[in-house]
Structure 1
């Protein structure tokens, strides 16, 4: 398997802005991505980024999902946009030697676009987290290390985050009803038993794990090597031990009024995913258990 990071941002942040790859090198200097670009397009200089942006605005927006989900045949622009991605995926698979490539873009509209590609075996791992935890995460100030701290990651108000949480999770549910293979897992379950979760995800992806495939995974941390994530969370630059712990800081730090607002807005889907709606949750900390 080969993790590519959030490919949806590759066109602007990497090709045009030349930000750093997960390996630490500038995108233009990364040997992996240089080989991918050469194989996919004859070099990244041949990619019309303006055209990609036009197509994104024309077909890859949340408001376009109903049309993408109900169409008998997708417009030519959908196929053209999907082709940019399928060429990257195919080239990355050849360069890495992997049978499965992982795009962690998380854009539900992009997934609906990619389902129209005849050249992909599209399988979606739908990771769900309690909406209040997501809302709190979006309020935090986090520097983007790839810009040397000069820029911050996007932030949303809890109200807007709740609306987006509803929209994107519903969109992935709709994707499953359109025949795309979707495997749902809750963040909280993943962190409580990462090994079982990864075994389940590998089976869903059609990957046969060797006896030593999960040797990087330990009781309280994962040993990470250098990767080539094109964009994404700052932890993509982490090499070595990454602690594995459930993050319930929102229970203490998200103001009660905001927590209740998000709970009310997201109540139906919180219930559907097995989360309590109005009951105050109490975090469990390993330090206290000791």
Structure 2
């Protein structure tokens, strides 16, 4: 039986962390967080695991790495180099076919071994990887023994821009302040990441779904249960205590924003601070640059008007 892996793609600050953490709280589901950064932020920088331990002291990940590689564990610096040279975002279109470079194939094999070791150690029937990097998502359909799913998460680019302009406190002393990005840079990343994520839909052969953050927070329980049904996972015994409240369990996520450390009861509601706090300059910049995809995803030019449905037949709306 193939192992089911749901890869979350898109651009940061789009609600991926909370969706990731909720899915992790279901029986039979294990969230890796941003597995792409295991080598750099986990093994090289030794940042904290979602459980609160320094990554190299987390017994679960030590066991996973031992099961995956034994004494022949890959050099973290070498894998990070492969990522920089062969798995860059701009390489995404060329990584969707069966024929890839030797470097990309080496990285695919290493990641495949990790996924299977995670399932063996945790007993998970569904693994959620919220790395968001489209080039890594392009390799997933070609992995042996993997049944791949792609969840493409998006959010209004004005909201994303506002979030990237704020610096969050570091999750631990080894981390810098959460990166800030100027409106133009953030929006260009939003455009490129979302265009590439949608382009991958064909490679996933009917296992692609588009999810807007705004639709998720409007009906979180229905959306999450719909995602589990989409993968064939059991939605019973989940963390929801109401339609918009969840009790989050501790996790073992790699990298991501500080929200991944949050546990206990959480009330889910839209973060719309940007509507009142964002000044005209960043809003106009984000609107103008995002215009090629703005209406495709149902976001209006005038933010005072409600969103339209996204123009995509495979969306959770």
TM > 0.5: yes
**Which stretches in structure 1 are left out of the alignment for 5+ residues?**
284-290
Deviation track 1:184-236 (CA, whole Å, cap 9, x = no partner) reads 111011111111101110012221322xx234342443211111112212111
Q: Which residue of 2 aligns with 1:140?
A: 166
Q: Which residue of 2 aligns with 1:153?
A: 178
| Conserved 8 A contact 2:219-2:244 | no
Give the whole-Å Cα distance in 1 for the aligned partners of 2:266 and 2:231. Answer: 24
Q: Which has the higher contact order (CA 8 A, sep 6+)?
A: 2
| Conserved 8 A contact 2:33-2:253 | yes
Give the whole-Å Cα distance in 2 for the aligned partners of 1:83 and 1:239. Answer: 33
Q: Which residue of 2 aligns with 1:194?
A: 220
Please give the secondary structure, in 1, of the residue aligned with 2:211.
Answer: strand
Q: Which residue of 1 aligns with 2:3?
A: none
**Which stretches in structure 2 are left out of the alignment for 5+ residues?**
1-28, 308-317
Please give the secondary structure, in 1, of the residue aligned with 2:100.
Answer: coil
Q: Which residue of 2 aligns with 1:173?
A: 198
Q: Which residue of 2 aligns with 1:93?
A: 119
Q: How far did residue 280 of structure 1 move? A: 3.1
Taking a change above 3 Å as real, the CA distance of residues 110 and 173 of structure 1, as seen in their structure-2 partners, is same
Given the alignment of the two structures, is residue 66 of structure 1 paired with residue 93 of structure 2, yes or no?
Answer: yes
Given the alignment of the two structures, is residue 105 of structure 1 paired with residue 126 of structure 2, yes or no?
Answer: no
| Conserved 8 A contact 2:50-2:260 | yes
Give the whole-Å Cα distance in 1 for the aligned partners of 2:136 and 2:229. Answer: 24
Q: Which residue of 2 aligns with 1:286?
A: none
Q: How far did residue 128 of structure 1 move? A: 1.0
Given the alignment of the two structures, is residue 247 of structure 1 paired with residue 271 of structure 2, yes or no?
Answer: yes
Higher helix proportion = 1
Given the alignment of the two structures, is residue 216 of structure 1 paired with residue 244 of structure 2, yes or no?
Answer: no
Taking a change above 3 Å as real, the CA distance of residues 266 and 195 of structure 1, as seen in their structure-2 partners, is same
Q: How far did residue 66 of structure 1 move? A: 3.0
Give the whole-Å Cα distance in 1 for the aligned partners of 2:264 and 2:187. Answer: 34
Q: Paired residue for 2:66, among 25, 32, 38?
A: 38
| Conserved 8 A contact 1:260-1:278 | no
Given the alignment of the two structures, is residue 50 of structure 1 paired with residue 77 of structure 2, yes or no?
Answer: yes
| Conserved 8 A contact 1:79-1:117 | no
Please give the secondary structure, in 1, of the residue aligned with 2:152.
Answer: strand
Q: How far did residue 34 of structure 1 move? A: 1.3
Taking a change above 3 Å as real, the CA distance of residues 215 and 112 of structure 1, as seen in their structure-2 partners, is closer
Give the whole-Å Cα distance in 2 for the aligned partners of 1:214 and 1:278. Answer: 38
Q: Which runs of 4+ in 1 moved over 6 A?
A: none
